[in-house]
Amino acid sequence: MTDTRVDLHVKVLDERVAERAKRRGVDTLVYAPHFTRLPTARRRAEAFSDDELTVVPGREVFTGTWGNRKHVLAIGLSEPVPDFIPLETAMAEFERQGAAVLAPHPEFLNVSLSASDIAYYEDTLDAVETYNPKHLPADNRRAREIAADTGIPPFASTYAHLRTTVGEVWSRFDRSIRSEAELVGALREGAPRGVGHRDGTVHRLRRAAEFAHLGWENSYGKLDRILLSGMEPTHPRHIAYEGRFEDAALY
């Protein structure tokens, strides 16, 4: 039986990332950069896909307001979905499009679905992240508890904002997954999988580097760039969304 090692969430993608993924045995990775519209992510994913590595585009949507945002990862969208719309609006749109819907870094800081959110959307969510390099050990334990309590299958990812994190964490599925449709199918069907990660000093250092990156990632300087400096690509009032999310826009 062919199995597939998948990194279900990375933020960076270039030649160095692709080569590193291949060297580390990653077969498929999901590229879901912040504040980037789906068509742009899809074009870049296609540019770095080849016979050795399949890159699938995804969208980590920032639902809610900046101060109370809840990230949700969608894979297999056919139409773009903006950031900064209510959680219920985003979840309804994901379900309408038949996307696989994942809960990254549950209950982590102020950027995640809570345990009650996950329980409420148990029938919509296809996987809960149970290992993330940015997590502290207690965060990973809590994530495993949430997955166990709800019965939603687990996943792990590098959530790589830094190139060197790629290849440190993976989800291993018991089937061949070399296309977006195959990945969405495996997630929505709850295909058997295991989660794994590297160990040792180097892994701990790379986790620490990713955690340190949060200082910039969650800065209000970024808030200003995204929300106040103009009409950014994933703003719900952007012309690309053709007015579909005007009534739901929170900014």
Q: Tens digit of pLDDT for each residue in 54-109?
A: 999 999 999 999 888 999 999 999 999 999 999 999 999 999 999 999 999 999 98
* Mean pLDDT in residue range 193-203: 97
Q: pLDDT at residue 5 above 90?
A: yes
The pair of three-digit structure tokens given for residue 193, joined into one six-digit string: 């999988």
List the chain domain ranges. Answer: 4-241
Q: Tens digit of pLDDT for each residue in 235-244?
A: 999 999 999 9
The pair of three-digit structure tokens given for residue 112, joined into one six-digit string: 């995640």
Q: pLDDT at residue 113 above 70?
A: yes
Q: Tens digit of pLDDT for each residue in 114-148?
A: 999 999 999 999 999 999 999 999 999 999 999 99
Predicted confidence at residue 133, as pLDDT, reads: 96
Compute the distance between CA of residue 210 and CA of residue 134 in angstroms, rounded to an integer: 6
Measured between alpha carbons, how far is residue 78 from residues 53, 57, 59, 96, 200 in Å?
22, 11, 11, 10, 40
Q: Which residues contact 250 (CB under 8 A, 6 or more apart)?
A: 64, 65, 84, 85, 86, 236
- The fold adopted by the segment(s) 4-241 is TIM Barrel (3.20.20)
Q: Looking at per-residue confidence, does 66 or 14 come out higher?
A: 14
Predicted confidence at residue 35, as pLDDT, reads: 93
Compute the distance between CA of residue 234 and CA of residue 169 in angstroms, rounded to an integer: 28
Predicted confidence at residue 67, as pLDDT, reads: 84
Q: How far is CA 12 from the centre of its chain?
A: 12
Q: pLDDT at residue 176 above 60?
A: yes
Q: pLDDT at residue 223 above 90?
A: no
Name beta bridge partners: 160: 10
Compute the distance between CA of residue 54 and CA of residue 28 in angstroms, rounded to an integer: 5
Q: pLDDT at residue 221 above 80?
A: no
Measured between alpha carbons, how far is residue 161 from residues 17, 41, 131, 165, 213 in Å?
11, 15, 15, 8, 8
What DSSP state is assigned to residue 235?
Answer: -
| pLDDT band with cut points at 50, 70 and 90 for residue 209 | very high
Q: What is the mean pLDDT of the chain?
A: 94
Measured between alpha carbons, how far is residue 247 from residues 13, 41, 237 in Å?
34, 26, 9
Q: Looking at per-residue confidence, does 140 or 222 come out higher?
A: 140
SS3 label, residue 75: strand
